[in-house]
Amino acid sequence: MKEIDYIVVGLGIAGITFCEVLEKNNKTFVVYDTGNVSSTKVSAGVINPVVLKRFTPVWNAKEHVETSFDFYEKLAIKLGIPLFEKMPMLRIFKSIEEQNNWMVASDKKELETFLKPKVIKNENPNINAPFGFGEVNNTGKVDPIVLIESYKNYLLKNNQLKNEDFEYHNLQVNIDKVLYKDIIAKKIIFCEGASAKNNPFFPNKTKISNEPLVIPNKGEYIIINSPELKLHSMIKTSLFVIPLSADLYKVGATYDREDHTVKTTQNAKEEMINKLKNIINCNFEVVGQVAGIRPTTRDRRPFLGTLLDCRNKVFFNGLGTRGITSAPSLAASLYNYIENGLELPKEMNIKRYYKW
């Protein structure tokens, strides 16, 4: 039998950030993941501290953004790949009223470091923005595909990745350890996103209302080629338009709580194309389309920690649409809870499930 500190199940952004915390603290671990389903892999990869629909700060914005910038910059150096880039975010104004709302919001204490207090004139003839833009400070983007593939290769080189499905029926949980096949570990942490619905140890339904704890939310993006667009900032209005490389852009996303498959759909493609035509004036060609399932929650807060039945089974889930931004900070909080006994804030502690 091989003895280690942790078994990690899942290698999306939750799994990656927690593995990094474990390695930083000299903990031994092995990861189980097939890579077949990952909302991280198809996500926008955007770090953004502001809810741009309403000009309000993201939950714990300052802490999440500062931690994520530091995390991705160091991880890029460690892996030797350009996976992270600081990039401006521009919000297209639809009216004079939105300009005024932006200026009011930028004067609020919780937003003054994130919103530039001025209207930026549109000088790109290929973008429809007659009322100009508002610019968000402290934004950037991560290449989620490069991130996951590079991290998988890193773990493989260190014999820390099992490219196989985790078989729940083979897990034995004792008071002070867990046993799985030929591995003995002090703890197991489940970082499975929407796939937690298949986990018999995860409380998938609330006992009173029988609502799902993690609500699958399907998102689709299209990849376009547009040599004329010449866009060097991320843009947000009814869609994100995110520069990739050369003349490629990622455009999206859709939101669908009914379809839980990861198959791309024609309806979503047409919806995004129609919206994009109202944002840009130039020609473009759709060259790709991706879909994933976001793990959202009823109160838009993550599920971290352990349940009352066992402190050896740990959960890191419910990161929703902002996992790239929040995961590094949340992983550190979760580790301090497990190893150092620091209590998790109630709004992110999975034990709030019991009151539901």
Where residue 284 sits, what CATH number does that domain have?
3.30.9.10
Euclidean distance between CA atoms 202 and 188, whole angstroms: 12
The number of helix segments (H) and strand segments (E) in the chain equals 6, 20
Are 132 and 267 in the same domain?
Answer: no
pLDDT digits (tens, 9 = 90+) for 188-222: 999 999 999 899 999 877 776 778 888 889 999 99
Are 50 and 133 in the same domain?
Answer: yes
Are 261 and 274 in the same domain?
Answer: yes
pLDDT digits (tens, 9 = 90+) for 234-243: 999 999 999 9
- What is the pLDDT at residue 209? 72
Are 288 and 218 in the same domain?
Answer: yes
Are 224 and 271 in the same domain?
Answer: yes
β-sheet bridge partners, residue 84: 142
- Determine the average pLDDT of the residues in 119-143: 96
- Determine the average pLDDT of the residues in 141-158: 94
- What is the pLDDT at residue 356? 83
pLDDT(166) > 90: yes
Domain containing 101: what range? 46-142
- In the structure encoding, which two tokens stand for residue 278, read together? 């109202």
User: In the listed set 142, 171, 189, which residue is the last one of a domain according to the structure?
Assistant: 142
Are 236 and 334 in the same domain?
Answer: no
pLDDT digits (tens, 9 = 90+) for 283-318: 999 999 999 999 999 899 999 999 988 899 999 999
| Tally of domains within the chain | 3
Q: Name the percent of the chain lying above pLDDT 90.
A: 85
User: In the listed set 142, 162, 188, which residue is the last one of a domain according to the structure?
Assistant: 142
Are 133 and 179 in the same domain?
Answer: no
Average pLDDT along the chain: 94
Euclidean distance between CA atoms 244 and 80, whole angstroms: 19
Are 305 and 157 in the same domain?
Answer: yes
Are 187 and 273 in the same domain?
Answer: no
For residue 242, the one-letter residue type is: I
At residue 274, the 3 state secondary structure works out as helix
Are 262 and 318 in the same domain?
Answer: no
b/e code 159-180 from CB counts within 10 Å (16+ = b): ebbbeeebeeeebeeeeeebbb
Are 110 and 153 in the same domain?
Answer: no
Cite the DSSP H helix spans in the chain. 13-24, 61-79, 96-106, 144-157, 266-277, 323-340
pLDDT band at 40 (very low <50, low <70, confident <90, very high): confident
DSSP for 177-198, written as a single string: -EEETTEEEEEEEE--GGGGGG
Give CA separation, 79 vs 13, 14, 75, 149, in Å. 15, 18, 6, 11
Are 224 and 85 in the same domain?
Answer: no
**Closest listed residue to residue 290, CA positions, set 258, 250, 259:** 250
Give CA separation, 235 vs 89, 243, 320, in Å. 6, 9, 21
**Closest listed residue to residue 232, CA positions, set 216, 222, 245:** 245
- What is the pLDDT at residue 37? 62
User: In the listed set 142, 169, 193, which residue is the last one of a domain according to the structure?
Assistant: 142
